Amino acid sequence: MTTERIGPPLIADEREMLRAFLDFHRATLAMKCEGLTDGELRRQACPPSTLSLLGLLRHMAEVERTWFRRVIGGEDMPLVWSATGDYQEAYDARTASGAEAFEAWRREVEHARRIEREAESLAVVAHNPRWGEDVSLRLVMLHMMHEYARHNGHADLLREAVDGSVGV
């Protein structure tokens, strides 16, 4: 499957701009993982760290689920890969399947997009129990862009270590 990454618009309202930048970063992570085998996706660039492209993808599925479904949507549900709520478990993908991770990630992205589209405005407020604070959908969108941008930097290095591919 080839990921289509569309550059964000140069002129748009705030919500469309946030939506477009977040989707751009989502597509960037997918592109960094494209065309690799499960073994290549699991490859760790800096052992003993368990960080891999597959681990990043699993982590981002957890992050999408947490911020959109659990926080903004108010759904009471566990994490995908940790019954104890330990976000670090998703990073350890040494025995994970790429197909399973992509399916979970895509599912969470679609839920996130639906929740964001159905929200009345970016000013919608929900409680984040982990922080013990209320947060707006606007903050969640910005936080998600930050999270993807940071991890896409990791993905650049991880992909280069796998097959020398740089850029994108």
Tell me: the pLDDT tens digits for 98-155? Answer: 999 999 999 999 999 999 999 999 999 999 988 899 999 999 999 999 999 999 999 9
The two counts, helices (H) then strands (E), for the chain are 5, 2
CA 27: distance to chain centroid? 10
Phi, psi (rounded to 5 degrees) for 29: -60, -45
Q: Which amino acid is at 17?
A: M
Which has the minimum average pLDDT: 31-35, 63-67, 148-152, 162-166? 162-166
Nearest to 108 by CA among 45, 59, 156, 64: 64
Residue 55 and residue 62: Cα distance in Å, rounded? 11
Give the torsion through C-alpha atoms of 30, 16, 6, 28, to 10 deg.
Answer: -20
The radius of gyration of the chain from alpha carbons, rounded to an integer in Å, stands at: 16
- Average pLDDT value over all residues in the chain: 93
Instruction: Count Cβ atoms within 10 A of the Cβ of residue 167 and give its class: 0-12 exposed, 13-18 middle, 19 or more buried.
Output: exposed
Looking at residue 1, its pLDDT comes to 63
Residue 49 pLDDT grade (very low, low, confident, very high; cuts 50, 70, 90): confident
